Amino acid sequence: MGPIGTMVQLYLIQLNGNALGTIYAGLAVGVYNGVTIPASIFWGFASDRLHRRKVVIVTSFAGTSITFLLFLLAPSTPGIITTYAILAFITTAEATPLNLLIMESEPKSNWASTLASLSLIISVGNTLGLVISSVWVEAFPILEMVVPLAGRSCVSLILGL
């Protein structure tokens, strides 16, 4: 997930020029952040109601892979912003169930260290994604960066299963 925010902003600037592209990039970030708030509430309720936390997590990983590829089908400004909003909704699904799974499967005394380990893994993955994307944008078209991101999300899906 690390490079997707930067990729969206760079692509919108490339697509629309500096002045208008910057406005659309800001709009995309605002929409993304605006979607995460109700999405967190929705997925928290869904996780509690379904009592199937692993299913929600795996569904989120699968949805993330698919949504990454949707960027290729919607290479226009409205399409990119809409797909980015969908991505915000889908990726938010995994956070609450992952934390709840840790709390349900670990003794309370281990919660802090286990949650810290999860956070470390997520941070390392995001950082590696940013390093890889830094090289990618020099050699390949920006929008095609979603292909390896979808692939890596598929790896998360397989590991989740």
Residue 30: Cβ-neighbour burial (10 angstroms; 0-12, 13-18, 19+): exposed
Number of structural domains the chain divides into: 1
pLDDT in tens, 50-88: 878 888 889 999 999 999 999 999 889 999 999 999 999
- How does pLDDT run along the chain (161 residues), one tens digit per residue? 878 888 899 899 999 999 999 999 999 999 999 999 999 999 888 888 887 888 888 999 999 999 999 999 988 999 999 999 999 999 999 888 888 888 888 898 988 899 899 889 889 988 888 888 888 888 888 888 888 889 888 998 898 88
In terms of residue numbers, what domain contains 24?
4-160
CATH of the domain at 72: 1.20.1250.20
DSSP state string for 20-70: HHHHHHHHHHHHHHHHHHHHHHHHHHHHHHH--HHHHHHHHHHHHHHHHHH
